[in-house]
Structure 1
Amino acid sequence: MPHRDVVSWTGLLSAYTRDGKHGEALELFNSMVTSGESPNEFTFSSVLRSCSAMGEFDEGTRVHAYVIKLGLKCNTFLLSSLIDFYAKCGCSEEAHGMFRYMDSGDTISWTTMISSLVQAQKWSLALEHYNDMICSRVTPNEFTFVKLLAASYHLDLNYGRLLHAHLIMLGIRFSLVLKTALVEMYSSCKRMEDAVKVLHQTSEYDVTLWTTVVSGFTRNIKVKEAVAAMRKMEIFGFVPNSFTYSNILTACSAVSALELGKQIHSRVIMTGLEADVCVGNALVDMYMKCSHLVEDGLRAFWGITSQNVISWTSLIAGFAQHGFEQDSFRSFLHMQAAGVQPNSFTLSSVLRACSTNKSHSQTLKLHGYIIKAKAYSDIVVGNALVDAYAALGLLDDSWRVISTMRHRDTITYTSLATRMNKLGRHEMALDVINRMYRDGVKMDRFSLASFLSVSAALATMEAGKQLHCYAIKSGFGGCTSVSNALVDLYWKCGYGNDAYKAFAEISDPDVVSWNGLISGLASNGYISGALSAFDDMRLAGLKPDSVSFLSVLFACSRGNLVNLGIEYFHSMKSMHNMTPEIDHYICLVDLLGRAGLFEDAMEVIDSMPFKPDTLVYKTLLGACKLHRNIPLGEDMARRGLELDPSDPTFYSLLANLFDDSGRSDLGRKTRELMKDRGVRKNLGQSWIEVRNKVHIFNAGDRSHPQINEIHDKIVSLATELRKRGYSSYGDTKGSFYHSEKLAFAFGLLNTPSKAAVRISKNMLICGECHDFIMQVTRYIDQVVIVRERNRIHAFKKGECSCRGC
């Protein structure tokens, strides 16, 4: 062309933009300006679209300056393009500034502004702008509603329904794009019946619409319905694409449907989509989550033509999930070597592997990489790093990471508190609540359930009640996870009536709810109630899991129901197709041992499909102590010490067995042997909460400020017992310094005369202390509750809920 004008330049430039060749479009724009030709509003609009597509913010602001220089800053068409540019670059304030230049704006400018707010995740503000748009008498179009519907499902279903009513009232054309947006809105709000109604309101369909329906069923964990929707899609003549298949595979991952996943995989192969990165990633994720063999996931991974960050992350997370932490670390290195940069989810997956493997060196290396890659500002990475250090017991390092994080959320503090709880640092875990409050982070249902578990572990009823009040005020009282934690809390604190009430308030109890009820009843000595609850759970249509059977076997053991316990154990496999785990065998050994059926117990140990661990031998040794069976007890101690020579429990149990059997000389020799081998006895510890403060007592401890009063109280109680002729408690003065007796005396001194004394202990209560407390309750009008690990002793009027078992 001998002469080129603004139209010819703009025509070619817009063609490049439409074709996605944004770099060439910007080069052409520079050539146009150099030639001396002045751009118009259509030229600038195409250039701004290319700038936003390439993320060229500086270039876009220079174009904006050029617009102002040419006097086009008030041009409505250009203002819409500028709003769109700033919105896509994440600058919603600048986009709003452009919008204010308009007198009233048109449909395009209002829609562009609403779109920018949706993109910036300012959902409420987007809906407010829609209200202003209507008030300004500007009519929205189908694209306005598409953007608004995307905002509504992040807020509330009622907003979406109102918008649906508005578009019908305004007579907006019910296009395929708008129908898809409505289906997406209803499915995101878990209203699939409404989504299906919208789907069939017109006869116009496409692959995207059907895939949205499949995705909706997947999101709502309705796998059968998702597969049925895909079949119906094919009946209507539409071929599923990579997104359709990846959605079905995601559903298979969610419900561990390996066989269905394999069938979908065969369909994927037939359609030639196996190498597609979207489908391949879903296959890797499905096999890693559903299959017992990591090789299945590996094959799917290597079948992808060009693996991306999601492919590698699924592989790394899968290795960690299967317990192959070293393979997870190696894959992370291979990923970088392949030139794929990890994202926040990759880093959090590798850090989870560090948490599982408790690898200090790997955690430090990853922390160094995170600092170098400047990824520490990402909250997902920060939370994973906090959890990794806490899993190693390095709580100071976890707090240091928290202090460097720009933002913290409930996950940050919940994961830390959960780890503290597992480490036995219960008081420290409760202090996390105050840190959350100071940081302005509110508890959600997950953190609330976690803190209730901490209160249950510490048996701090006051903290538990405060958390219960918070649950009611914040509206989390109806959450099943919170209610389950409340049931556990009240049972562990000996509040049976409150535990029952908390369970009764659960609208739809799940297996965890029932397990909490069964376990609580059994640990509090209500054996028949526990077994009845187990039957009630099955009548309610819920299938018992391994925890259910552990609780039932524990109840049978405590209730001396040998035949029934054996029947429950064998029913696991015969009736419920469930393979007993080692914990179930230990419960069975405990059941038989307590009943004095030592030959049967030994037969169970010798025939079980697991290599016996120390807990098996400790369990039977405890039963030998109960029945004073010295030969078998010595054999169990010998076997256990061969596995762990430094475990003090075997020495203590064996020494007590000798003492109880009248062989105190052998008991003394056993303790001397323990001392000679440098094995230290586990420190007995008890704690009691009085006036919102937890007082901890160690065996032989004299550090408590009231220790003299406590000892005087113990002496006076023993003297009173001797006067009443119950026993000669003065002959066992060594037990005066046991932690549970110190806590008991402290409780009597510092609680009102009618209030219950609640004590928690880190190990089994000593037999002499048990009898001492039981006898004292004959002449004091107070209930004493002692929790030892997973069992409650409720003392009242000279009786204990354990009934001597």
Structure 2
Amino acid sequence: MTNKVAAAASSFLSRTNELGTLQQSCIRILSFCESNSSRIGLHIHCPVIKFGLLNNLDLCNNLLSLYLKTDSIWNARKLFDEMPQRTVFAWTVMISAYTKSKEFVSAVSLFGEMMASGTHPSEFTFSSVIRSCAGLRDLSHGARVHGSVIKTGFLGNSVIGSSLTDLYSKCGKLKEARELFSSLQNADTISWTMMISSLVEARKWREALQLYFDMIKVGVSPNEFTFVKLLGASSFLGLEFGKMIHSNIIVRGVPLNVVLKTSLIDFYSRFSLMEDSLRVLNSTGEQDVFLWTSVVSGFVRNLRAKEAIGTFLQMRDLGLQPNNFTYSAILSLCSSIRSLELGKQIHSQMIKVGLEGNTDVGNALVDMYMKCSASEVEALGVFAAMISPNVISWTTLILGLVDHGFEQDCFGLLMEMVAQGVEPNGVTLSGVLRACSKLKSIRQVLEIHGYLLRRHVDGEIIIGNSLVDAYASLNKVDYAWKATRLMDRRDDITYTSLVTRFNELGKYEMALSVISHMFADGIRMDPVSLTGFISASANLGALLNGKHLHCYSEKSGFSSSVSVSNSLVDMYGKCGLLEDAKKVFEEIAMPDVVSWNGMVSALASNGCISSALSAFEDMRMKGFEPDSVTFVILLSACSNGRLTEMGLEYFQSMKDTYNIEPQIEHYVHLVGILGRAGRLEEATGVLETMQLKPNAMIFKTLLRASRYHGNLSLGEDMANKGLALAPSDPAFYILLADLYEESGKPELAQKTRNLMSEKGLGKKPSQSSVEVQGKVHSFVSEDVTTMVKTSGIYAEIESIKEEIKRFGSSYRGNENASFHSAKQAVVYGFIYASPQAPVHVVKNKILCKDCHDFVSILTRLVDKKITVRDGNQVHIFKNGKCSCKREETTYVFSYEAFNKNDKTLL
């Protein structure tokens, strides 16, 4: 057809000489031109310029339309600028062309020129420029155009109304969008569909569905695009809603074209109903590459690798050439299943079909190589070969480098990205902030925060959450709270980040305070945040708070969550309530290795060593493979239980039976087991044969064993080696000084303490806390800063000591340990807790012998259960005995002589 038209044009022009006839001839020829006849347009353009025919509006408008049909927007603008007169049609088609090609700035600018020229816009002009304002999210300019619409009397026009509705909704003004829609007279299908689409994009899915019902009620028929939007909402509303929409499509007889079929396939695949997706695929004969790609993507989403590859091959056999989206989906599958070999095969296929330069495919390749390869080299090679990397390309590269441990390079990449004119998005900045957190670089976090404030993009929730997490991870708690308060909107991720980071920092009271902020924002706890709050309660010893959270988990239906149940097992175990821990564990429908580890740990830490080892055997018998954490628990149990040979057997079985490579914490416990047994030579042999480099903790463990067994030379050696690694750790000086003291060398002990003082090193204060009536009270050893609280407690401690003497105990107490924090917390709980309530104390250090004896005797005098969890284990005191089975203090008084109702102790 094109050749015939060209020949006719040439013949016709060669025979005509009259100018008027020439103009009509050009118009007639242009009317015959098809959208792919761009060269003919050039032939016509030449005589138009040569013979000065630019004044002919019909001719210029036809030529302008031809350029725009052939996507030659540059030539169209050149002709437009040459036109001495421009009709509203010329302005409109030019503005519309810019809008369609997403050159929104050019469209808005040209509209400004149009208004300045005095040309009155049509409804289609307004519609196009408003859509450009929506694309720019430029509410200010859009509102001015809205004002022009009102002035020119177009208010109420359904075409313009639909565009304005879209503008306001995309700019976050959903209320104004609803009001505009309501003001439309005789709103048509497009207007209703646009409003439904706006609600779906705003995540107002139920409102979108209700609007559809209203649309049906007023008698406006939906089209395929209406149903496409509704299916998008149904993906979030649930399967039944989507099925209802599908049935409406069938009942209303809406043809299942490829667009609608693609949406249906995508909907069913989101609910893992791939068989239904295949039925939709085969329901009609109309198929294309996008439809088949949606099926491939569905199988990928559901990690059905075999079917995804099979569908990919089947579509090729049918003659449908996979496009960039198809290859991206398959590469996404490779990333998910970590299949580097398959990824490389797909890469070679893409090169054969000429898609290696496609940005979307390049992005998927970078992601695949970053996730599947142990090296970052291949991903960097793909990125370097990309012609026009976009924001997704840069973001994928940055996130991959963070995962590969190249955090230091991410900040520089961000700067390079900005320098090349690529604007980072929320995910990019979130990834860089994560890198800064890993690097512990507060300076770079502050720099990024400044960049966000300058660009006015700190309001995005993903960026706000990342800032909160970065500040909290760097112990900048005030900054984290301030960043939280400045966020326009907070979600469950915001508060989960806070509670997680506060737990990591040991700020458990602050972690629990997050609950009130969540509820003030109307955000309910989910299983992840709930687990964090239960963990904070466990570590703080806030048993009452933990029980409230347990009730909340039951009422909210989260008790079926394994992570929540695991955290409850841990909490009850740490609070000395083994029966409650067992009950929660037994109610877990499908326990995992973490569940078993929690139960074994609870038993071991509460002194039930044989029960803990028995639980481990049950774990093995039920087919659960122990992991690295399991063996840390077992070795710790053997160390506390002085089960030397069994501990050695467990350590040996790690690699021999379970192929678990021992880590430094396993070696620390191994050295502890040998050290406690007095096998110091074997313990030092471990240091010489282990493949890992010893850390300060392992030297500290051997120094402690040396002190226990009075081996001065080994203790000095361990202290020197430990201080070489951790010169600021006061524990080495304290242990060495005690060793000198106990070895009859007081002058060296004093010299060591003096050296510690000269270096400005102080002993970390012992801190203990006790929960009374739901509130946690903290105490520090020999605390003189809060005299109002402690002076009374000190007096009570002295009173109890006198009472112990009066009833004939040999306990006299160590004056240096008179007011240790554990004593203060125990006595405070003993006095102020209700008579029936047990006392539960948490101490940050190992309970000393003096405090242990004091609490033990106290429970002999009064019928009270007292639990003390120290840095090593849980001590449950009852009737003068402790679960740790430490050697008991000798009593020389008659227990019967003590009247349980005697209040002199109080």
TM-score, shorter chain, exceeding 0.5: yes
Q: Per-residue displacement from partner, 1:415-447 (whole Å, max 9, x unpaired)?
A: 233333322222233223333334444433322
Aligned to 1:623: 705
Matching residue within 701, 705, 722 for 2:788: 705
Alpha-carbon contact 2:359-2:388 (below 8 Å) kept: yes
Q: 1:274 to 1:128 in 2, by over 3 A?
A: same
The 2-side partners of 1:330 and 1:66 are apart by: 46
The aligned runs of 1:746-757 (5 Å cut-off) are: 746-757=828-839
The yes-or-no answer on 1:338 pairing with 2:401 is: no
Quote the residue 2:58 is aligned against: 4
1:160 and 1:439 map into 2 onto residues whose CA distance is 31
Matches of residues 643-722 of structure 1 in structure 2 within 5 Å? 643-658=725-740, 667=749, 670-702=752-784, 703-719=786-802, 721=804
Distance 2:138 2:815 in 1: 83
Q: Distance in 2 between matches of 1:42 and 1:711?
A: 85
Contact 2:391 2:422 in 1 (8 A): yes
Whether the aligned pair in 2 keeps the contact of 1:6 and 1:39 (CA below 8 Å) is no
Distance verdict in 2 for CA 1:739–1:61, change over 3 Å: closer
Equivalent position SS for 1:554: helix
* Greater mean deviation of Cα atoms: 76-85 or 117-126: 76-85
- The residue aligned with 1:465 is 547
Unpaired stretches in structure 1, ≥5 consecutive residues = none
Name the residue aligned to 2:664: 582
Q: Which moved more, 1:780-789 or 1:284-293?
A: 284-293
Secondary structure at the counterpart of residue 566 of structure 2:
helix
CA distance, structure 2, for counterparts of residue 345 and residue 56 of structure 1: 22
Q: Which residue pairs with 1:738 in the alignment?
A: 820
Equivalent positions of 1:448-597 (< 5 A) are 448-597=530-679
* Aligned residue pairs, count: 804
Q: Distance in 1 between matches of 2:715 and 2:88?
A: 95
Instruction: Indicate the larger mover: 337-346 or 81-90.
Output: 81-90
Return the alpha-carbon distance in structure 1 between the equivalents of residues 146 and 879 of structure 2: 87
Q: 1:325-474 residue pairs with structure 2 within 5 A?
A: 325-474=407-556
CA displacement at 1:321 relative to structure 2: 3.2
Q: How far apart, CA to CA, are the structure 2 residues paired with 1:22 and 1:39?
A: 20
Query: How far did 1:748 drift?
Result: 2.0
Relative to structure 1, is the Cα distance of residues 643 and 249 closer, same or farther in structure 2, using a 3 angstrom cutoff?
Answer: same
The correspondence for 2:847, drawn from 752, 765, 769, is 765
CA distance in 1, matches of 2:814, 2:664: 38
SS for the counterpart of 2:58 is: coil
In 1: Cα distance, 2:603 partner to 2:668 partner = 20
Q: Say whether residues 1:118 and 2:192 are aligned partners.
A: no
Measured in 1, the distance between the counterparts of 2:310 and 2:603 equals: 44
Deviations 1:547-580 (A, max 9, x none): 2232232223333333443343333334434322
Alpha-carbon distance change, 722 to 367 in structure 1, aligned in 2, over 3 angstroms: same
SS of 1:737's equivalent? Answer: coil
Q: Which amino acid counterpart does residue 341 of structure 1 have in structure 2?
A: E
Stretch of structure 1 that moved more, 610-619 or 546-555: 546-555
How many Å separate the matches in 1 of 2:130 and 2:760? Answer: 78
What's the CA shift string for 1:33-61, capped at 9, x where partnerless?
99999877667666766675676877877
Shift of 1:785: 1.1
1:455 Cα deviation after fit: 1.5
Residue 31 of structure 2: aligned partner: none
For residues 696 and 32 of structure 1, the distance between their equivalents in structure 2, rounded to whole angstroms, comes to 73
Match of 2:394 among 312, 316, 327: 312
Task: State the Cα deviation string for residues 694-742 of structure 1 (Å, max 9, x = none).
Answer: 222212224353544433443454455556665x432522222222122
CA distance in 2, matches of 1:724, 1:760: 29
Render the CA deviation track for 1:139-177: whole Å, top value 9, x for unaligned.
Answer: 333322111010111222221122223223333323322
Change in CA separation of 1:636 and 1:343 when aligned onto 2, cut-off 3 Å: same
User: What value does the CA root-mean-square deviation take over the aligned residues?
Assistant: 3.7
Give TM-score, length-normalised by structure 1.
0.89
Letter of the 2:612 partner, please give it: A
**Paired residues of 2:88 and 2:119 also in contact (CA < 8 A):** no
For residues 701 and 842 of structure 2, the distance between their equivalents in structure 1, rounded to whole angstroms, comes to: 22
Question: Structure 1 vs Structure 2: percent identity of aligned residues?
Answer: 49
For residue 100 of structure 1, what is the aligned residue in structure 2? 182
**CA 1:57–1:620 in structure 2 vs 1: closer, same or farther (change >3 Å)?**
closer
**Which one-letter code corresponds to 2:192 in the other structure?**
W
Structure 1 letter corresponding to 2:568: L
1:605 is matched with: 687
Contact 1:736–1:742, Cα closer than 8 Å, also in 2: no
Residues 220-239 of structure 1 correspond to what in structure 2 (within 5 A)? 220-223=302-305, 226-239=308-321
Confirm or deny that 1:153 pairs with 2:228. Answer: no
Which residue of structure 2 lines up, in the alignment, with residue 174 of structure 1?
A: 256
Q: Structure 2 CA distance, aligned partners of 1:517 and 1:509?
A: 11
Q: Indicate conservation of the 8 Å contact 2:632/2:669, yes or no.
A: yes
Alignment of 1:785-804 (within 5 A): 785-804=867-886
Deviations 1:302-339 (A, max 9, x none): 13222112222222233333333321121122212222
Q: Note the C-alpha offset of 1:759.
A: 0.8
Calculate the TM-score normalised by the size of structure 2: 0.80
What is the distance in 2 between the residues matched to 1:207 and 1:143?
19
Cα distance in 1 for partners of 2:848, 2:345 equals 59
Instruction: Give the superposition deviation at 1:494.
Output: 1.6
Counterparts of 2:255 and 2:557 in 1: how far apart (Å)?
40
- 1:617 Cα offset (Å): 0.8
State the distance in 2 between where 1:489 and 1:662 align: 44
Mapped to 2, the partners of 1:333 and 1:602 lie a distance apart of 50
Q: CA deviation at 1:615?
A: 0.4
Native 8 Å contact 1:786 1:794 kept in 2: yes
C-alpha separation between the residues in 2 aligned to 1:749 and 1:44?
78
Greater Rg by CA: 2
Decide which moves more: 710-719 or 296-305.
Answer: 710-719
5+ residue gaps, structure 2: 1-22, 24-55, 63-86, 888-906
Query: Which piece of structure 1 moves more, 249-258 or 55-64?
Result: 55-64
Letter in 1 for 2:251: M
**Pair 1:240–1:575, CA change in 2 (3 A):** farther
Contact 1:48/1:81 (<8 A) preserved = yes
Deviates more, 1:768-777 or 1:600-609: 768-777
Post-superposition Cα deviations, 1:231-258, rounded to whole Å, max 9, x if no partner, equal 4544555443322333343344445444
**Deviation of 1:458 (Å):** 0.9
> Counterparts in 2 of 1:53-72, with a 5 A limit?
none
Contact 1:685 1:761 in 2 (8 A): yes
Equivalent-residue separation in structure 1 for 2:149 and 2:112 (angstroms) = 14
2:327 counterpart residue number:
245
